[in-house]
Chain A
Amino acid sequence: MDFGDSPDERAFRLRLRAWLVENNPHLPASSTSDAYWDGVAAWHHALYEAGFFGLSWPKEVGGQGLASIYDVIVDEELAADGAPPRPSVGYLVQGMLRHGSEELQRRFLPGLVDGTERWCQGFSEPDAGSDLASLRTRAVKDRDEYVISGHKVWTSYSDAADWCLVLTRTDTEVAKHKGLSAFIVPMDQPGIEQRPLPMINGTTREFGEVLFDGARVPAANMVGEPGEGWALAMTIVSHEREPGELGFMARYKKLAKELVALANKEPDRYGPEQRRDLAWAVVEAEMLRLHVCRRLSERYDGLTHGSEGSVDKLLMTYAEQAVGHASLAIGGSTRADADDTWLKVYLYSRAQSVMGGTSQIQRNLIATRLLELPTS
């Protein structure tokens, strides 16, 4: 067991550190300001071009075929330099690698990985949140195309997306999990209307709803076979639960560091409760870093995590929300002299226990699949 760098890892770390000196765009905290979203596409592309993104994915689709553990180094260095986190598109890549045809992989993965094409994911609907399989968006075949009608909601990045991975119902005659198929749908067409959905912290750039009214997609853009949509969705959400895939650890480490620096400006202002919250943010962010080290090391054994992802998702949630609480404690959201940056960070943290499957759903999965408790 070794948490230290190998010589190759050390060289990679130093290369990234040197690159960041010139190339850190110093964007504000994600999801607290439109300036972040204005800069994120350029950041993604720059990180990729410099050889620091898509490390563990196959070379054929624009990756570097390195061990997953290199992503820990990226997260650590981005956090230490106060740079934005790496783009969280890994779950889409994993879904495509597992379920997409070679043709679709070659057409779509390079642009997704290098950041030249932006993506969103159309899964949830107004009446299909935790019960995703009850979704009602229909895709009906029309010669060599499908025609899509329905309503997707809580869609991250829909405003900027070129492509939407849409989960639809293609067969109404079979059980609800079996009639689903997924398509890669171009967003720029008359049959699609995208509306921003302001979040509780006021940000309008992250969340949207997408209305499909006769949108058209080539049949060749179906990912996997007809009826494979549920399996694809499960692959994606299981990776969406893994902090190693998402790179959020870097964001928490960066925020905790910024909060310590903020507290240091006027340390006497903070009493025991605020100090405790600050310390927990530091501890939880570090715990998540070490948990990611452990999980990505296990990938050397070829382990891909199924239900363990639910444990990781809850640990990631605790970390983000501990940072959120420290943001309140140190940022002073109700103080007359405080700006609302830290209030926004706090409010945004409440989404982490909902997105990618609520904490309640994760606990159900842990209880039945990992602890093997009886189901009825």
Chain B
Amino acid sequence: MDVRLSSDQQAVRDSATQVVDRLGPRTVGQLDDRERSDRLDAAVASSGWRELRDADDGDAPLASGVEVALIAEELARGLADAPFTGPTLAAELRRRTGAPAATATETVGLTPTLSELTVAVDGALGSELVAVDADRSPSALVLVPAGEGHALAEVAVRPLDLRADLTRPAAGAAAGTVVRKLDGQVRALTADDLDAWTALGLALTSADLVGAMRGAIDLAVEYAGGRQQFGRPIGSFQAVQHLLADALVLMEGSRSIARHAAWAVDALPPSGAVEAAAMAKAYCARAARTVGEISIQVHGGIGNTWECLAHVYLRRALLSIDLFGGVDASLTRVLEGAGFGGDHGLR
């Protein structure tokens, strides 16, 4: 057992840090700077990070869950408004069916609660679909029944006005929209495939939450060191110090548990990977909302204005919390994994 990052993993993380620090939004106003976000998107595209879950020469992914989680964390810390989670999860689905890698940016299509993949029957969507992290994605992948399992289909999506997360716009498609089965699939997706995919989704969103927490804490600590009241920096007051200390502790616990979930994606069997990921997601989801709120609180009145980046972190966290199930859905999975035999999870 040695859970330090390898030098390759550190290098991947460092390059993500550099890209997002150079091209990510530094102010709320910069979120509207399309030229900047185009350059960030181009940098992410040329890095190859979105293709890390494509197949290598065999059926294995090019990089493990650890590398993609490290990138997700750094991108969230820098509030990157370039798609990553959506395309990564789409690539994971393609690889598992043996379909060729995507030629354009694409994402995944979820049910409106964002908890699971949409299943389309009879060649069309049975209900509304939401595609997350869909900036620059003209299409999303959905499931269609195939024998005992599922196959992949794609569906065209249009921008959707979901405004929780200002950095990762959503898209959608209405009920009745026609889906087209992907060419070149050689295997059906089994229940194990979908469990492993869910584990990756939970691990990636947990990593995203860790990054959002780090960014929110850095922002608040810097502010507390400079903002003067009563003739002293507010960061010198114990009441403020203890809020920020609590935030750091929650982030560090989240980081430890999220790192294990990222490792488990490829190292454990699907049921174990989902269990590890659900533990991480429950912990990170609860922590991230609190940390986001602390960051706003420390910023005081300024923290309650649109111009302050603190709410952008909290908003990003809100989407990552809900993706594939937040606290309660994850705790339900935890109880199942722990062998608690009561019916209906938390109910």
Contacts of A73 in B (CB 8 A): 1
Q: Which residues from B are CB-within-8-Å of A300?
A: 2, 4
Q: Is the CB of A264 within 8 A of B340?
A: yes
Given A4-B1, A363-B241, A367-B245, A267–B341 Cβ distance below 8 Å? yes
Judged by a CB distance under 8 angstroms, whether B232 is at the interface is: yes
Q: Which B residue's beta carbon lies closest to that of A293?
A: B3
CB–CB B242/A315 < 8 A: no
A2 touches B282 (CB 8 A): no
**B66 CB within 8 Å of chain A:** yes
Which A residues are CB-close (under 8 A) to B263?
1-3
A267-B341, A272-B347, A278-B335 known; A315+B253 contact, CB < 8 A? yes
Q: Considering only CB atoms and an 8 Å cut-off, how many residues of chain A contact the other chain?
A: 54
Query: Which one, B146-154, B166-174, B254-262, is touching chain A?
Result: B254-262
User: Which of B245, B264, B332 touches A363 (beta carbons < 8 Å)?
Assistant: B245
Tell me if A270 and B342 are in contact (CB < 8 A).
yes
Are A69 and B2 in touch, CB under 8 angstroms? yes
> What 0/1 readout, one digit per residue, does chain B (233-245) give for beta carbons within 8 Å of chain A?
1011010111011
Residues of B within 8 A of A301 (CB): 4
Task: Indicate if the CB atoms of A374 and B235 lie closer than 8 Å.
Answer: yes
Most chain A beta-carbon neighbours within 10 Å: one of B256, B267, B334: B256
Judged by a CB distance under 8 angstroms, whether B338 is at the interface is yes
B283 interfacial by beta-carbon distance below 8 Å: yes
A286-B279 CB under 8 A given contacts A311-B248, A364-B238: yes
Is A72 located at the chain interface by the 8 A CB criterion?
yes
Whether B279 and A69, one on each chain, are in contact in the complex, defined by CB atoms closer than 8 angstroms, is no
Asked whether A297 is an interface residue with its Cβ less than 8 Å from the other chain, the reply is: yes
Size of the B side of the interface (Cβ < 8 Å), in residues, is: 51
**Chain B residues whose CB sits within 8 angstroms of the CB of A372 once the complex forms:** 221, 225
Task: Kindly state whether residue B138 has any CB partner on chain A within 8 Å.
Answer: no
How many angstroms from the CA of A256 to the CA of B337 in the assembled complex?
Answer: 13
- If over half of B's interface residues share one DSSP class (helix, strand or loop), that class is named, otherwise mixed; here it is helix
Interchain CB contact under 8 A, A264 and B283: no
Q: Is the CB of A297 within 8 A of B341?
A: no
Does A219 sit at the interface, judged by CB under 8 A? no
A373 vs B233: C-alpha distance when bound (angstroms): 9
**B-chain residues with CB within 8 Å of residue A297 when the two chains form the complex:** 1-4
CA distance A188 to B8 in the complex (A): 58
With a CB–CB cut-off of 8 A, which chain A residues contact B283? 283-284, 287
Of residues 239 through 286 on chain A, the ones whose CB sits less than 8 Å from some CB of chain B are 256, 260, 263-264, 267-268, 270, 272, 275-276, 278-280, 282-284, 286
A-B complex: 6 closest residue pairs judged by Cβ atoms:
A267-B342, A367-B241, A366-B245, A291-B256, A363-B245, A279-B331
Interface residues of B (CB under 8 A from A): 1-6, 9, 66, 221, 224-225, 232-233, 235-236, 238, 240-242, 244-246, 248-249, 252-253, 255-257, 259-260, 263-264, 267, 279, 282-283, 328, 331-332, 334-335, 338-343, 345-347
Pull 20 A–B residue pairs with CB atoms less than 8 Å apart, ordered by A: A1-B66, A1-B259, A2-B3, A9-B1, A73-B1, A279-B338, A280-B331, A287-B257, A290-B259, A297-B2, A297-B4, A300-B2, A311-B252, A315-B249, A360-B242, A366-B248, A367-B245, A371-B221, A371-B245, A373-B235
